[in-house]
A and B are shown apart, each in its own frame.
Chain A
Amino acid sequence: DAMVIQNPRYQVTQFGKPVTLSCSQTLNHNVMYWYQQKSSQAPKLLFHYYDKDFNNEADTPDNFQSRRPNTSFCFLDIRSPGLGDAAMYLCATSRATGGTDTQYFGPGTRLTVL
């Protein structure tokens, strides 16, 4: 019954070693989001896709990239993780970006950078 699935739930990587986090959804939603959330802080939007249209937040570092090969899947690539990138990464989906469309979140991937 899981609607937004994230793998892995826990990821450990080494400083500078590329890592990919994955998200899939069974809701057939048009929009997929990636957020970074550090302890006791608000989720920070990194980017979102409306269908295949990619929207990058102005302050998202170039180190973070995303791919959406189809409606169901979206990937977050961190090219050279630094210690400051250790965080929970949340994927969310919504039907559309306007109006009152609720965002539904996956369980998150907790990234540790050694």
Chain B
Amino acid sequence: GQNIDQPTEMTATEGAIVQINCTYQTSGFNGLFWYQQHAGEAPTFLSYNVLDGLEEKGRFSSFLSRSKGYSYLLLKELQMKDSASYLCAVLDSNYQLIWGAGTKLIIKP
């Protein structure tokens, strides 16, 4: 079967750095997405990785290791508005998007 694993919940402090991990087992791989979803709202696109390595976009960075079936999303200089769920999703060999259940990130002052 296909599986995406992420921690259910994480807590971090405003101004700090947090790393959200995602491991996957899918039939084929055509890239990995990270989405941010605030409570009661739709997911919004954050990043896409298809090659190994780190992609940096402002305060957010995303890393991929295909050999390990592993990715992480790194959030720096945390702000209260970063409190949200972060969903990892993988495009499988059929270009179907396989979603993780999301990691709820709680930011404390």
Pairwise interchain contact B45-A43, C-beta atoms closer than 8 A: no
Query: Cα distance A110–B8 when bound, in Å?
Result: 22
Pairwise interchain contact B43-A99, C-beta atoms closer than 8 A: no
Sort chain B's interface into a size bin.
Answer: 20 to 34
Pairwise interchain contact A45-B97, C-beta atoms closer than 8 A: yes
Pick from A42, A102, A104: contact of B99, CB under 8 Å: A42
Pairwise interchain contact B42-A45, C-beta atoms closer than 8 A: no
Pick from B30, B41, B87: contact of A42, CB under 8 Å: B87
Pairwise interchain contact B50-A41, C-beta atoms closer than 8 A: no
Query: Cα distance A104–B35 when bound, in Å?
Result: 10
Task: Decide yes or no: A42 and B50 within 8 Å by CB, A106-B42, A107-B41, A108-B42 being known contacts.
Answer: no
Pairwise interchain contact B43-A100, C-beta atoms closer than 8 A: no
- Main SS of chain B's interface residues? loop
Contacts of A103 in B (CB 8 A): 45, 97
Pick from B30, B91, B96, B99: contact of A43, CB under 8 Å: B99
Contacts of A90 in B (CB 8 A): 42-43
Q: Max chain B CB contacts within 10 Å: which of A88, A105, A106, A107?
A: A105
Contacts of B96 in A (CB 8 A): 45
Write the nearest CB–CB distance from B3 to chain A, whole angstroms. Answer: 11
Pairwise interchain contact A97-B95, C-beta atoms closer than 8 A: yes
Closest to B102 in A: A42
Pairwise interchain contact B102-A102, C-beta atoms closer than 8 A: no
Contacts of B100 in A (CB 8 A): 42
Task: Report which A residues bind B (CB closer than 8 A).
Answer: 4, 40-45, 88, 90, 92, 97-100, 102-108, 110
- Could you list some 11 contacts between A and B, CB below 8 A? A4-B42, A40-B102, A42-B87, A42-B99, A43-B43, A92-B42, A100-B48, A102-B45, A104-B45, A105-B44, A110-B40
Q: Which 5 A-B pairs have the closest CB atoms?
A: A105-B42, A42-B99, A42-B101, A108-B42, A98-B95
Contacts A88-B40, A90-B42 supplied; 12 other A-B pairs, CB < 8 Å: A43-B43, A43-B99, A98-B95, A99-B95, A100-B31, A100-B91, A102-B48, A103-B97, A105-B42, A105-B43, A108-B42, A110-B40
